[in-house]
Structure 1
Amino acid sequence: MEIKEYFHDSCVYFLNLEHRDDVLKKMSENVQEQSLVKASFGRAILDREKEFPTGLDTDHIGVALPHTDKEHVITPFIAVGVLEHPVSFQLMGGGNVEIEVDIVFMLGVTDPSAQVEVLQQLMEMIQNEELSNKLESAQTKGEVISSLQHFTSLMS
């Protein structure tokens, strides 16, 4: 499955929330309402984020890549949360360092061998300043998906 197949406009959310856990809960609820995940997904995402933080600080934008084990996922997806204002996440592998995150890519992967590849491709995407700027300034789900699809086609 190519990374572009993980993105759907039904999994793009514009969020105005104050705290990391609220962002993760809301995104988890949304993908559960779409029957993409099991009821256990939301708790698993929160628990994993506390133990293994997923915040990444690129040179131009803060991003989080929350994900959890495959047994909580029904259908593969990548949900995109465009945050109205930055929310603090702990830095991946950075102890207790907090970073301000603007975009959240929540992964739901059913094939563990694909997870590493999907994460690598996402890392390549978020390193691209032009794409990050387009996502951060997007006003519609269509703009987000169009930007992601355009960039993934350049990667192929």
Structure 2
Amino acid sequence: MSQADVELLRPELVFFDLEANDAQELFDGLEDRLKPLGYLKDTWRAAIGEREKNYPTGLACPTAQIAIPHTDPVNLERPYIAIVKPKSPIKFQPMGGMGDEVEAKLVINLGIMRDGGQVEMLQKLMGIFMDEAKSANVLSQTTPEGMVSAFGGYLA
């Protein structure tokens, strides 16, 4: 993981107040917040919805249920990592299409533009959520600054 990827974690990209009934509503809310900040192209919303439909990103890890939606860099204006801790869990289809729906308590939207960066980040995130203490620390965060600090410490 490059230091540049860790620098994509910013308090302005951490959301605790997003309410959504499903992944599509979550993407609408993210677009409303990220587009004015200059992170997304007009194609992002349709692209992330289509990618999620074809390649679901819900993960039922031993310590938490999460989702890691992302899309191709061509749909981004600039790189980012957005973190959403929704008011109530959001249902995502399971990665690989096998198993029950995932009730994601945390959604990490990757907007990485570096070649191979998304795969590397997915591996790092899996390491966090396979570890009970790290996962508990991340899930216990209640401020954007705390969330950035927790993730930054594990991803560096």
TM-score by length of 1: 0.89
- Report percent identity of matched pairs: 29
Once the two structures are superposed, the pairs formed by residues 7-156 of structure 1 within 5 Å of their partners are 7-14=9-16, 15-95=18-98, 97-153=100-156
The CA distance in 2 between the partners of 1:72 and 1:48, in whole Å, is: 12
**1:127 to partner: Cα distance:** 2.1
Give the Cα separation in 2 of the matches to 1:127 and 1:27.
26
Q: What displacement does 1:96 show?
A: 6.6
Considering Cα pairs closer than 8 Å and 6+ residues apart, tell me whether 1 or 2 has the greater RCO.
Answer: 2
The amino acid that maps onto 1:144 is: M
CA distance in 1, matches of 2:14, 2:27: 13
2:112–2:118 CA contact under 8 A, matched in 1? yes
**How far off is 1:108 after superposition?**
0.7
Question: How far apart are residue 94 of structure 1 and its match?
Answer: 2.5
| CA deviation after TM superposition for structure 1 residue 74, in Å | 1.8
* RMSD, matched Cα: 1.7
Structure 2, unpaired ranges of 5+: none
How many Å apart are 1:72 and its aligned residue? 0.5
Equivalent residue of 2:89, what SS? strand
What is the number of equivalent residue pairs in this alignment?
A: 153
Residue 129 (structure 1) shift: 2.2
Task: Give the deviation of 1:76 after TM superposition.
Answer: 1.3
Normalised by the size of structure 2, how large is the TM-score? 0.89
Q: What amino acid maps onto 1:13 in structure 2?
A: F
131-140 vs 37-46, which moves further:
131-140
SS in 2 for 1:8: strand
Is residue 13–residue 27 contact of structure 1 (8 Å, CA) maintained in 2? no
Which structure's residues are more often helix, by fraction? 1
Shift of 1:64: 0.5
C-alpha distance in 1 between matches for 2:140 and 2:117: 30
Could you tell me how far apart the structure 2 residues matched to 1:94 and 1:34 are?
33
